[in-house]
Each structure stands twice: as structure tokens, then as C-alpha cells.
Amino acid sequence: MIPLKRRKVVPTGAGNTGSEETSPNKFPQVVLFLLERKMGASRRAFLSQLGRKKGFQVEELFSEGITHVICENNSGDEVIAWLESQVRGRGRATAHLLDVSWFTESMRAGRPVEILDRHQLQQQIREVEVVVFSAPSYACQRRTTLDNHNAILTDALSLLAENAELSGEDGRGVAFRRAAGVLKGLPEPVTAVTQLVGLPCLGGHSLRVVKDILENGASCEVEDTKQSERFKVLKVLTGIFGVGVKTAERWIQEGIRGLQQLQDSGRTLNRAQQAGLQHYEDLNQHVTRSEADAVAAVVEEAVASVLPGARMTLIGGFRRGKLTGHDVDFLITHPEEGREVGLMPKVVSWLESQGFLLYQKTTKNSYLEGEDGPARPSSNMDRFERCFSIFKLTEEVNGEGLKPWRAVRVDLVVSPISQFAFALLGWTGSKLFERELRRWAGHKKAMSLSSHALYDNTQRRYLRASSEEEIFAHLGLEYIPPSERNA
């Protein structure tokens, strides 16, 4: 056996020269030393830097002050022999001898995790039986609750998806989101990449990111993306209501890097962008469920005032059980077909007269059915009568008492009762769940699904439905309730 290299004993703290980016020492009772043997110098350097960023004290040289020795692919006997050579003549070393798995789990948790038998070298089990997960290919076949056991993995993939979308690479964005969707639906945390063998939608790139996080506690690619100046600027500019990626890209090419620069530039902004810039801070804060309920009470009063008997439903993420969201969406209809025509202008007029609207833009219903099936829309947007608005939620209404009022994004959608079930399904989300429903309809059933209708391309006829359950039945799918559509 090749002898382990003897390290010079130095006082605790000598190894951290301050040349690397570190965070304040959050855990003074824990002093780490990573054994280089079999781990390798470059990997040891990366893990040491990661530990310091997370607030751990990591020493370069061994000393008697070390409390945790982190090893990789070393036996307990090898490490004990090395330790005794370091403290010869000065008593026995008392540090915990731990496998690198304890370190990576602590990095993921952001704190020192409990030391279990499986972490200790003396009792390390080399072959651990792990559960291999399975999942259907389409998100619309899976039940995905808000109880996400793999948030650190799905957050990382979602960030890469967002970056791809901001770069105009929608295909890569969808691939990352599908991979994240699979992991969100797993019944327990992933502990090894081998558990994911055979799962759908997990391509090589996504698996590399997952492996990096499981082994190192973080992904280099994700961390680099977070620090990317272009990504940060695009996030700020597209965070303005009414600003898309193409507009943000053009502004960046013109030298705009932030909100103040945009304001000082004298550029002409449309009404939506002006309102978005004016209320930027409010619109980029999460809307709470209590705030959504407060808006619902106002909209319900408006609808009842202008069309008694009309029905209003809270849709979007809040219908799926989320406690916060980016905006609040409502679907409005009337039990009598045709009674909903002309409703939106009256609701908007009522809200404006009561001082609730800071901005609004209304579009008319442009949906038409054809004998040969629905015409392909010019975009992925549906064609209902709709009002995009910024709502003034007053303290008297929201009850938060933080300031007199705040701006909240609110979308109002009016649907004929004959299309209500399709609109309800389409506007409940999640976005990936809806995308996969439509993909399933086209690829598996030769049907065309939208928020307006379901058309059977083989039979050349529309399939009517008065409930979401009927739509799932038409598609040959098991019904999944809104609370389990959080893909």
C-alpha cells in the first residue's frame, strides 16, 4: 500500500488564506478537513471552496482542532492510521471520520446534518440498495402535488430552463422543465443518479446537473448562470410588465442595464410598459392567498352588479392550492349561452368607477369553430374576451396594514358556458401540465385540444364536455384534480 503523505501540524485556521470567496463562519463548533488522498487535488479544492461559501470552516492543513475529517473512497483503517501518524506522541485524534456523503448532504441542507451510521467510515456500507424510481412519460399522466421532495434539483433545472428561454432557446427550456417535472412527482428524495435510470425526459444534460448537485451539493453550471450578468439584466428587464425577451434584448444592445438607466434614457414606452415600470416593485412581489381572496371579493361584487347570475372562478396556481403567485386569474361565465356577451366592458367600467384599476387592456373574443376543425391560432394564446389589468388593492380591502395600497396583476377571462370546462382546464395549469395534455392529445389520440374545444381529427368532429372529468375521459386519461397538476 502506498503510504499516506504526512501533513505538518499547524494551528487551526492557518489553511484559509482569504484568497477564496467565503461566507462568515456560521458553525464555529464544526471544523472540517478534506483528505486529498483518492479525492484528488482539484475536487478537494472545489469542495473546500463550496464549504466556505456555505459558511463552514474548512482547513487546508490538519490540526488537533479538526472536528470532522471528510474522506472519499478511503477505508476507516487507512484514515485512522494516517491520523495517528499526525498526532503521534500527543494522544489520540478525536475527529469524526466521515464519508463525503455527509459533506454533500450538509451542503444541500446549508448546515451540518446529523451524523448517521452510514456516514461513518468504520461502518460504511459500500453497496447500498437504493430505490429505482419509475414514472409515466407525460406529465398529464402523473400526480404532482405541491409537496416537492427534490426542490434543490428542480429549482436548479428550472433556473436553467428560464435561462434557455431568455436566450431564445425554447426547445432546451422545455427539456429542462420536463426533467424538473419528472423529479417533482417522485415520492421521496433522490439520493443517487442510479435511481433515475430509465426515467423519461431526463436527458444527459439534466442528469449531469443532478449528479453534480448530489455529489457536490451544488452545480457549477447553475451557480455560473446565477452570476451571469446577462441573465441578471434580462431577469430585471423582463420583470417589467409588458416587456418580452426581444424588447429586453434590444434594450441591452442599446446599453440599458437596469431600471434607472431605462427611466433616464427617454425611450418611448407603451402604456403597459409605463405601468409596469411605475409599479415594478409591487408587481415583482408574490401575491398571497389572502390578497387573492380580497381581489376575488371585489371582482365578484363587480360581476354580480352588472350581470346577476354570472359565475366567477379563481383559476391559475391558486386553484391548484398554491399559497402565493405572480398574479390572480379569474374565469367568468353565465349558465345561459350568450348572456356573457358584452359582460367584460361592464365589469371593467364598474372597477374603474370604484378606483380599482391602475391599468387595463381588453381584447375581444375572436374564437370561431370551423367544419374542418378549429383554425390554428396565430399564437399559443387562447382567443377569449379578456382583460389584462393592474389592480389597486387598498389597505381597507387587503387588511395587511403595510401601506395604503399595492399593485397586483389581475387577469379576467370571459368564456361561453359551452367552452367553460375547456377554459377552466386550460387556465388552471400548470403550464407544463397543459403543454403535456395537448401533446398527449395530438400524439396519442389524434386530437386537437385548446382552452376552447377538443376536436377529434380522425372522426372529424368536436367532442363536447361540460366538466373537466369528461375531457380527461375523452382523452383516455385518469382524472387528475387541480391540486395534483403542479408539474
DSSP 399-457: ---SSSEEEEEEEEEE--GGGHHHHHHHHH--HHHHHHHHHHHHHHHSEEE-SS-EEET
pLDDT for 93: 59
Calpha distance 105→91 (Å, rounded): 31
Take residue 144 and report the three cell numbers written for it. 404532482
CA separation, residue 226 to residues 1, 102, 253 (Å) = 44, 26, 21
Backbone angles phi, psi at 331, to 5 degrees: -110, 130
pLDDT for 75: 82
329 catalytic? Reply is yes
pLDDT for 131: 77
Q: Which residue intervals of the chain bear CATH 3.40.50.10190?
A: 31-123
Angle, alpha carbons 464-470-476 (nearest 5°): 105
pLDDT for 378: 43
**How buried is 84 (Cβ within 10 angstroms: 0-12 exposed, 13-18 middle, 19+ buried)?**
exposed
Q: Which residue intervals of the chain bear CATH 3.30.460.10?
A: 287-367+381-484
155 catalytic? Reply is no
Catalytic residue among 99, 212, 282, 327: 327
| pLDDT tens for the chain, residues 1 to 487 | 344 444 444 343 434 444 446 778 899 999 999 998 888 888 999 999 999 999 999 999 888 889 999 999 888 888 887 777 766 555 445 788 999 999 999 999 999 999 898 898 864 444 445 678 999 999 999 999 999 999 999 999 999 999 999 999 999 999 999 999 999 999 999 999 999 999 999 999 999 999 999 988 999 999 999 999 999 999 999 999 999 999 999 999 999 999 999 999 989 999 999 999 999 999 999 999 999 999 999 999 999 999 999 999 999 999 999 999 999 999 999 999 999 999 999 999 999 999 999 999 999 888 877 766 776 654 456 889 999 999 999 865 555 555 689 999 999 999 999 999 999 999 999 999 999 999 999 999 999 999 999 999 999 999 999 999 999 999 999 999 999 999 9
pLDDT for 87: 62
Catalytic residue among 155, 293, 411, 456: 411
Residue with cell 487507512: 78
Asked if the 287-367+381-484 domain carries CATH number 3.30.460.10, the reply is yes
User: Phi-psi category of 200—alpha, beta or left, where left has phi over 0 and alpha has psi -120 to 50?
Assistant: beta
pLDDT for 88: 58
pLDDT for 83: 77
- Is-contact 111 27, C-beta < 8 A? yes
Catalytic residue among 329, 372, 382, 456: 329
CATH topology of domain 140-226: DNA polymerase; domain 1 (1.10.150)
Asked if the 31-123 domain carries CATH number 3.40.50.10190, the reply is yes
Q: From the centroid of its chain, how far is CA 326?
A: 12
For 47-88, the DSSP string reads HHHHHHHTT-EEESS--TT--EEEESS--HHHHHHHHHHHST
pLDDT for 436: 97
Backbone angles phi, psi at 31, to 5 degrees: -125, 120
Q: What is the CATH number of domain 229-270?
A: 1.10.150.20
pLDDT for 357: 98
Q: Which residue intervals of the chain bear CATH 1.10.150.110?
A: 140-226
* DSSP-derived pairing of the beta strands 405-414 and 57-59: unpaired
pLDDT for 18: 43
Of 57, 105, 118, 134, the C-alpha closest to 213 is 105
Residue with cell 434557455: 164
372 catalytic? Reply is no
Does residue 450 have a cis peptide bond before it, meaning omega lies within 30 degrees of 0?
no
Take residue 320 and report the three cell numbers written for it. 391548484
